Structure 1
Amino acid sequence: MTSDTGESRPEAPKDSRSTSRKAAASGWIGSALEYYDWFVYAQAAALVFPSIFFPEGDPTVALVASLGTYAVGYVARPIGAIALGHWGDRRGRKNVLVLAMLLMGLSTFAVALLPTYGQVGMWAPVLLVLLRFVQGFAVAGELSGASAMIVENAPFGRRGYYASFSLHGTQAGQIIAAAMFLPLSAFLSDEAFDSWGWRVPFLLSALVVLAGYVIRRRVDESRIFLEEKEERRRERPPFVQVLRESGMDVVRAACMTLVNVIGVVVSVFGAAYATQPGYGIEMDKSVYLWIPVVANLVALAFIPWFANLSDRFGRRPLMIVGSLGSGVLSYAYLWSISQQNVALTIVLAILTWGLLYQVWNATFAGFFQELFPARTRVTGFAIAQNLGLAITAFLPSIFTLVAPPGSANVPLIVGTLCFAITVVGAVAAWSARETHRIPLEQLGTKDAKPVPRAEFDRRRAESR
């Protein structure tokens, strides 16, 4: 077995290609299951929770409060990033993935058992917020741990492609989450759906806990972690190390993470804008159960292809194109909602979220992992990503406040804010160093030197 530098290393006990595929498969399955839980809540927060867990009256207050509970999960994520990042960098990628899965599944199952505002008053939103906080804490370690394990086991020159499997899994989780609501909303009356139908997808998290635990316990720990395990125990906590050694890369990655505003605009604020009575558009809720399914099916088809392009041409070009392209298209998407044009809304949602945003989404996991050295990789990725997501999570509520129900020019106001945020992400990507040809053992170090293009292409072709 050879390292990315071409130096001889002891042969792993199992075939390296088999190990790479096993890590990628477990990352896909685990991410799909955990993000199913995460996005089930997002769907319910936009479509159901305003009328169930909050007092009736002002629709703007109820909507802002509901989307605020969605945001609480993201507030918890930086805390989870520090705690679970430390766990992943000190105790192993495998261990943190099992812990994150258990916390996520149990907290999501508990949401299904919550009483409504009409039953217990203010205790309903309080308990909802607490469980969303646990969800946010848990999910903070998922993508950083899964993609670290995949990157550290990936074949030469194909880190981007293999890392995209964890993102592929998150998109599949969104599809499953949305698809769970579709038959319920189609076959149940509005009263039955609001009374008990919405609880069914949350109850199924019990199966997620069991499946996730079995899958994650069978994954092999990454080679590079095992080689440096003893040395890491003598070092400072990863949180301290990553801020001292890679502070600017944390800032860059956090700014790049703000491009997740596209998903927020399409699936969270867009759903509220299109379906909540206060805006006067009142598209059928089923439209916003179908949009995530169709857009993410398109994403599933293109993520591996875009990720493969990032291995050939570099991470930064795709990060920039994906950011700016989807940001520009958000204007048209919101305008189509304002025109009550359901067909055009679906098409533009697919183009904005399912295609252009995926140019960025397919690339960022591999790129973020490559910005940090192995000893702080999970922590650096987790802190940067979850700081950016914590900011992004408040955007639905901010959009609702600056463009509340009844206001004019919602597409222009929200579209401009969205595009400005994607510009920030594009600039951050442009300012970062290109990483796709840097050897694995040199990633995140001052001595990192890219493999010459001809040599890189030759060895990449051999590893396929």
Structure 2
Amino acid sequence: MTIDQRSSETAARKPVRPLRVATASFIGTAIEWYDYFIYGMAAAIAFGPLFFPSVSPAAGTLAAFATYSVGFAARPIGGIIMGHFGDRVGRKSMLVLSLLTMGLATVGIGLLPTYETIGVWAPVLLVTLRFIQGLGVGGEWGGAVLMAVEHAPDRKKAFYGSFPQMGVPGGLIVANLVFLALTNNLSNEAFLDWGWRIPFLASAVMVVAGLVIRLTLSESPEFQEVKKTDSGQRMPLVTVVRESWKEVLLSAGAFIGINAVGYIFMAYLLSYTTAVLELSRNLILTFTLIASLVWLAVIPWASALSDRHGRRKVLMVGSVGLVGSTLLLFPMINTADSALILIALLITAVFMGVVYGPIAALFSELFKAEVRYSGASLGYQIGSILGGGIAPTVATGLYNSWESTVPISLYLTAVTLISLGCVWLVTRRTD
């Protein structure tokens, strides 16, 4: 008997503690999303002049957000690769690999020379490291969610599955706190000179802590059952595409709206409000921090409601609310009134939480255990490309072309309506 077999049998005999697994999933996911979000904030504030100084400020911001989108192009590749091995080898090993991949790429960005030092190689290396970040986060979501959901009791799948979902606002909160501390204590010149590197380099400490936590987890019991019965698929992705392509497309469509709104909320608004409305960067970071706390709190509450009342009811209410919030967001922000801006962000955060929380359990329920990592990851990451992957770039391009936020509002309304229709269709298959 090998060491892996003995450790697997020992883990199987231990009582399952879903809260411990879910909490560990939350911590690790928050660290990964912190890494991902600090890139978006740096793209909004610093990457334009540092890596694309030969173009206008507006074009530099657009180029910085284009590199931001590169990470999303890599996410399905990461989801496919880690989904394959997550269904073949195990969820736990892919969680460790995804965190290590993300951490190394993030620290690498913090060490990058700028355009002034190495010329065109600076943006080339930035894009490369962003791509590697995308590979890591592409494999992260499926593993973290499945570890939490597959350890959970049947009537609390969505609640425990919401813990890795909370890692997204959790990572955003930490990222905002770090950037607030830097902008409060450094001049703009010092921040552009060296201060922007601190959030990326600090990731090294958090990644080590996250790896220690993840290495202590036991493998998912449902995956252990797949291995025990020898029911695994040799090519999980092929099986998913052949047998569950409708579920993949519907789950991708259901995710487009929340993801697009989320990345406008998390990345583009900081750039727009500071560069166009000329509002205080610290004010917007503070408001985003407050709204992220609300978003985090709503996720487990909405997920618990979906365990009690069904995914369909909760997700439909949230999706309708998300459509409405996109119509209000920019008109309220454009008033430049602090109170109205905060209210707009809070309304958006509430409905983001209502949708984002239960969607983890919904996606895992669409696929059988043998191919669940591949199927859930593929749907989620395709939706992330079509949603958040292009949203900041599209928003920047629309504003530069029209000098108005009306086209951005229409764009967000369209994608949230698409998701509303997909949620209506996909929840008919589970509830």
> Is the TM value for this pair above 0.5?
yes
Aligned positions of 1:70-219 closer than 5 A: 70-219=68-217
Task: Give the stretch that moved more between structures: 234-243 or 85-94.
Answer: 234-243
**8 Å contact 1:232–1:375 — kept in the other structure?**
no
2:371 aligns to what?
376
Shift of 1:319: 2.0
Shift of 1:273: 1.6
Is structure 2 residue 419 aligned with structure 1 residue 425?
yes
How many Å separate the matches in 2 of 1:433 and 1:365? 13
Shift of 1:324: 2.5
Question: 1:233 and 1:366, CA in 2 relative to 1: closer, same or farther beyond 3 A?
Answer: closer
Q: Identity of paired residues, percent? A: 39
Shift of 1:436: 6.3
Is structure 2 residue 274 aligned with structure 1 residue 275?
yes
Shift of 1:34: 1.1
Shift of 1:255: 0.5
Is structure 2 residue 56 aligned with structure 1 residue 58?
yes
How many Å separate the matches in 2 of 1:89 and 1:35? 23
2:3 aligns to what?
none
Which residue of 382, 386, 402 maps to 1:387? Answer: 382
Shift of 1:30: 1.0
**8 Å contact 2:176–2:285 — kept in the other structure?**
yes
Which residue of 329, 332, 339 maps to 1:333? Answer: 329
How many Å separate the matches in 2 of 1:382 and 1:22? 23
- Measured against aligned partners, the alpha-carbon deviations of 1:34-90 in whole angstroms (never above 9, x if no partner) come to 111111111111122112111244222111110011100000001111101011111
Task: Give the stretch that moved more between structures: 44-53 or 71-80.
Answer: 44-53
2:360 aligns to what?
365
**8 Å contact 2:333–2:344 — kept in the other structure?**
no
1:456 aligns to what?
none
Question: 1:126 and 1:288, CA in 2 relative to 1: closer, same or farther beyond 3 A?
Answer: farther
Shift of 1:217: 0.6
**8 Å contact 2:79–2:139 — kept in the other structure?**
yes
Shift of 1:185: 0.1
1:23 aligns to what?
21
**8 Å contact 1:267–1:288 — kept in the other structure?**
no
- Measured against aligned partners, the alpha-carbon deviations of 1:410-432 in whole angstroms (never above 9, x if no partner) come to 1x211111011011111111111
Shift of 1:370: 0.7
Other structure's SS at 1:111 match: helix
How many Å separate the matches in 1 of 2:146 and 2:310? 19
The root-mean-square deviation of aligned C-alpha atoms, in Å, is: 1.7
1:452 aligns to what?
none
How many Å separate the matches in 2 of 1:68 and 1:363? 30
**8 Å contact 1:324–1:419 — kept in the other structure?**
no
How many Å separate the matches in 2 of 1:189 and 1:295? 26
**8 Å contact 1:367–1:435 — kept in the other structure?**
no
Shift of 1:372: 0.6
Shift of 1:222: 1.1
**8 Å contact 1:314–1:434 — kept in the other structure?**
no
Q: Residue type matched to 1:274 in 2? A: T
2:314 aligns to what?
318
1:347 aligns to what?
343
How many Å separate the matches in 2 of 1:51 and 1:147? 38
Other structure's SS at 1:158 match: helix
More helix by share: 2
Q: Residue type matched to 2:64 in 1? A: S
Other structure's SS at 2:217 match: coil
Shift of 1:256: 1.0
1:303 aligns to what?
299
1:457 aligns to what?
none
Shift of 1:318: 2.1
Length, aligned pairs only: 419
1:414 aligns to what?
408
User: Gapped runs of 5+ residues in structure 1?
Assistant: 1-10, 438-464
Task: Give the stretch that moved more between structures: 363-372 or 325-334.
Answer: 325-334
Q: Residue type matched to 2:99 in 1? A: M
Task: Give the stretch that moved more between structures: 157-166 or 325-334.
Answer: 325-334
How many Å separate the matches in 2 of 1:171 and 1:77? 19
1:462 aligns to what?
none
Other structure's SS at 1:403 match: helix
2:265 aligns to what?
266
